[in-house]
Amino acid sequence: MSRVRVHNFSISIDGFATGEGQSLDAPFGHAGTRLHEWFFPTRTFQQMLGKPDGSNGIDDAIAGTWDAGIGAEIMGRNKFGPQRGPWENDDWNGWWGPNPPFHTPVFVLTHHPRPSVEMEGGTTFHFIDATPQEALRQAREAAGDLDVRIGGGPTTIREFLVEDLIDHLHIAVVPIVLGRGERLWDGLEGLEKRFQAESVTTPSGVTHMTFTRP
Amino acid sequence: MSRVRVHNFSISIDGFATGEGQSLDAPFGHAGTRLHEWFFPTRTFQQMLGKPDGSNGIDDAIAGTWDAGIGAEIMGRNKFGPQRGPWENDDWNGWWGPNPPFHTPVFVLTHHPRPSVEMEGGTTFHFIDATPQEALRQAREAAGDLDVRIGGGPTTIREFLVEDLIDHLHIAVVPIVLGRGERLWDGLEGLEKRFQAESVTTPSGVTHMTFTRP
């Protein structure tokens, strides 16, 4: 059975995965880039930008596991873009330019479906209004034998965790107190009982935590 | 100038330092012992119980720094006991038996002062109704050249952090989702800007974080 995985999902020590005030200019609201500064220097991220360089340390080793064996992604609409409510048009195709780094089908959860968009490099965005279970069924069908990644944001990951649909969860805890925004852990009391937890800190100051279904 | 320190303060990954429902039988409410299981095997804790054994690993190395150079403690009333409101009598002298592990003056913050109690081994409990600044003034006077420890619980530590009175903060983050109780980080947005943060994970699964004023 293919697994359902979350990778490189950053939160503050007070549990916020995005700040307040998400907008086109501030995808993570008042958090700015602070949740992801550990990630930017990594070779994994630099390659997403099409650049050949980047660090090869422990942060990169962990970050780099995000893509292997993934056949489809599911993301929430808030990860796809800052718009809310009905789409004004179909011009917005995500933050990632013409060749997004996914290179697989990507299922965008939205209450406002629109036609699928085929991008360069193998990424196709499908817009579906579906429960986590139904979205996962479609993503698994698209992924074949490969795994499905839940790409975020926090609402989407939390919904899949509540439904116990996630097999592997990688969280990067950044030592900042964000104070406001959207929390990851709400409504997940006792989550650890379903997983084996591992943690490691890296010189960037981040604590990487993995929760894996035994 | 003597420093103000917090040690061995455990929180869940969702930021709760105590669970819901604190009582005589459950000092940490529904959290039970889960926030402190990393601490129990350490030599530091075993010595508090008057036992000669205990582990000497990294958890103990970090835990063991709690006492060196401390001349007084300040604690909130909720750490001292489960009672609320006016004291029914003066019989309760804390959770720690006739010889508490502090061996210094301990200032208990309460809106209901009562006479000081001298315990065995050098611990004297003073019950004061004071602002953080005034409590710290009294504790510093009692501590002489030594440091003052803020012993908890979360409300007390948060109040001292809000007032920027803490110089060194050691937090042990336990990989459980407690879900409810009292949060440490609320109202402390941007706290990290005042400190240098360090983190290390240990094989017990805990992430030790220190925040030290530069």
* Interface residue of B20, B169, B207 to substitute, partner A, most A CBs within 10 Å: B207
Contact A104, A95 (CB under 8 A): no
pLDDT single digits (tens) B100-135: 999 999 999 999 999 999 999 999 999 999 999 999
Contact B199, A207 (CB under 8 A): yes
CA distance A109 to A139: 11
Mark A49-80 as b/e (b = at least 16 C-beta within 10 Å).
Answer: eeeeebbeebbbebbbbbbeebbbbbbbbbbb
Give the closest-approach CA distance of A179 to chain B in angstroms.
Answer: 4
For residue A13, which residues of chain B lie inside 8 Å, CB to CB?
15, 173, 185, 209
For residue B162, which residues of chain A lie inside 8 Å, CB to CB?
none
User: Residue B133, class by beta-carbon neighbours within 10 Å (0-12 exposed, 13-18 middle, 19+ buried)?
Assistant: exposed
Q: In 10 A of CB A5, how many CB atoms?
A: 22
Q: What values do phi and psi take at B61, rounded to 5?
A: -60, -40
CA distance A162 to A75: 16
- A192 and B176 in contact by Cβ < 8 A? yes
In whole angstroms, what separates CA A96 from the centre of its chain?
A: 14
Per the omega criterion (within 30 degrees of 0), is the bond before B153 cis? yes
User: Which domains does chain B show, CATH number per domain?
Assistant: 4-84+104-212 (3.40.430.10)
β partners of residue A18: A182
pLDDT of B24 reads 86
**How do strand A182-183 and strand A147-152 relate by DSSP bridges?**
unpaired
Edge-to-edge strand list for the sheet holding B105-109? B117-118, B124-128, B105-109, B70-76, B147-150, B4-12, B168-174, B207-212, B196-201
In one-letter notation, the amino acid at residue A102 is F
pLDDT of A24 reads 86
pLDDT single digits (tens) A50-90: 898 999 999 999 999 999 999 999 999 999 998 899 999 99
Vertex A98 angle, CA A95 and A103, to 5°: 90
A97 touches chain B (CB under 8 A): no
H or E, element range at B58? helix B58-63
Paired tokens of A130: 């579906």
For residue A185, which residues of chain B lie inside 8 Å, CB to CB?
13-14, 177, 179
**What's chain B's average pLDDT?**
96
**What's chain A's average pLDDT?**
96
ipTM: 0.92
pLDDT single digits (tens) B25-60: 898 999 999 999 999 999 999 999 889 899 999 999
* Interface residue of A177, A182, A209 to substitute, partner B, most B CBs within 10 Å: A177
Average pLDDT over residues A122-150: 98
CA distance A48 to A53: 11
Per the omega criterion (within 30 degrees of 0), is the bond before A153 cis? yes
For residue A188, which residues of chain B lie inside 8 Å, CB to CB?
14, 177, 179
Treating both helix axes as pointing N-terminal to C-terminal, what angle do B132-143 and B154-162 enclose, rounded to 10 degrees?
Answer: 100
Give the closest-approach CA distance of B13 to chain A in angstroms.
Answer: 7
For residue B29, which residues of chain A lie inside 8 Å, CB to CB?
none
For residue B175, which residues of chain A lie inside 8 Å, CB to CB?
192, 197, 199, 209
- B188 and A173 in contact by Cβ < 8 A? no
Query: Residue B189: which of A178, A189, A192 has the nearest Cβ?
Result: A178
Nearest CA in chain B to A178: B189
Mark A125-155 as b/e (b = at least 16 C-beta within 10 Å).
Answer: bbbbebebeebbebbbebbeebbbbbbbbbb
- Could you tell me the pLDDT band of residue B23, with boundaries at 50, 70 and 90? confident
- Under 8 Å CB-to-CB from A5, ≥6 apart: which residues? A70, A147, A148, A149, A150, A166, A167, A168, A169, A170
B97 touches chain A (CB under 8 A): no
Query: Residue A199: which of B175, B187, B191 has the nearest Cβ?
Result: B175
